């Protein structure tokens, strides 16, 4: 068993305004587990453009706030108490149109998506 906290987990962020900050909790390391977990903070008015999760299926679960996930044809609002499954072959975008940041837990299996996040620029901001 292993315990990790935000203080000992690397944070990453894509360049640009209002992009999410992603804290890698587990996965994406050589010899690591086959499942990954990241904590994502999506600022108010922020989001991610259309993207895929590599070879990973992901489950998006808000712990605060709400986000909208769109596949270009339809969209779902995902808030506290609900989760969204995004399959590896789906291209989705994510937006937070709320007035406060949304905090999400994103599980990925296999952890390929988390390995990709680890290659994003490290973030040392607040």
Q: How many CB atoms lie within 10 A of CB 17?
A: 7
pLDDT over 70, % of the chain? 98
Please determine, for residue 1, whether its predicted confidence score (pLDDT) is greater than 90. no
Please give the domain boundaries of the chain with CATH numbers for all domains.
18-118 (2.60.120.10)
pLDDT at site 63: 97
pLDDT at site 95: 97
- Residue 100 tokens, joined: 């406060």
Q: Which helix (H) or strand (E) holds 112?
A: helix 112-118
Please determine, for residue 83, whether its predicted confidence score (pLDDT) is greater than 90. yes
**3-60: pLDDT as tens digits:** 877 777 888 887 788 889 999 999 998 888 899 999 999 999 999 999 999 899 999 9
Global pTM reads 0.90
Q: How many CB atoms lie within 10 A of CB 64?
A: 13
């Amino acid at each position: 068993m292993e315990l990790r906290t935000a203080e000992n987990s690397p944070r990453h962020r894509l360049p640009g305004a209002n992009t999410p900050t992603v804290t890698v909790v587990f996965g994406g390391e050589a010899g690591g587990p086959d499942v990954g977990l990241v904590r994502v903070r999506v600022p108010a008015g922020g989001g991610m453009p259309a993207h895929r999760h590599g070879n990973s299926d992901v489950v998006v679960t808000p712990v605060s706030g709400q986000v909208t996930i769109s596949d270009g044809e339809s969209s779902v609002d995902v808030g506290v108490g609900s989760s969204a499954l995004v399959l590896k072959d789906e291209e989705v975008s994510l937006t937070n149109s709320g007035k406060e940041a949304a905090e999400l837990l994103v599980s990925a299996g296999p952890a390929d998506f988390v390995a990709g996040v680890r290659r994003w620029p490290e973030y040392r901001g607040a």
